[in-house]
Amino acid sequence: MSKLFSRFTNKKEKDLRVLRDFIHIYCREKHKDRTKLTFSSSDASVQKAMGDKKIALCPNCSKLLNHGMVKLLMCPYDPKPMCKKCTTHCYAPGYRESIKEVMRFSGIYLIKHGRLDMILHYFL
């Protein structure tokens, strides 16, 4: 595997894990009373990027995560810009609002719980 290719892959996989963890926190805190299933994707590259970590999500959050992961894998920009600064609005309407709320909620959650290290780890 070439250096360039692995770097490209690592960046996307890292972004996918951020998405996964943020949606996981959101669902765990906001959807406590919903029935949850272990997330799995029919898309092989999404499944690979998920790694070994198993997370339980409600059906809505599963859909959102799947949508976000597919969009991220299809992102034509390299390096990928921060989504909020990007002019291509690739998320479908409805999903875009949901993911914004998830990122805001989980970002604040991590700061409140003293997990600033996690945020720095994600975004640097």
Binding site for Zn ion (CB under 5 A): 27, 31, 58, 61
User: Quick one: 72 or 98, whose CB is closer to Zn ion?
Assistant: 98
Cβ atoms of 109 and 102 within 8 Å: the answer is no
In the complex, what is the shortest distance from the CB of residue 5 to Zn ion, in angstroms, rounded to a whole number?
Answer: 34
User: Quick one: 8 or 91, whose CB is closer to Zn ion?
Assistant: 91
Residue 23 neighbours by CB under 8 Å, 6+ apart: 57, 61, 64, 65, 68, 102, 106
In the complex, what is the shortest distance from the CB of residue 49 to Zn ion, in angstroms, rounded to a whole number?
Answer: 20
In the complex, what is the shortest distance from the CB of residue 28 to Zn ion, in angstroms, rounded to a whole number?
Answer: 8
User: Quick one: 29 or 78, whose CB is closer to Zn ion?
Assistant: 29
DSSP 8-state secondary structure symbol assigned to residue 92? P
| CA 106 vs CA 2, 6, 23, 109, 112: distances in Å | 35, 29, 8, 5, 10
User: Quick one: 31 or 96, whose CB is closer to Zn ion?
Assistant: 31
In the complex, what is the shortest distance from the CB of residue 61 to Zn ion, in angstroms, rounded to a whole number?
Answer: 3
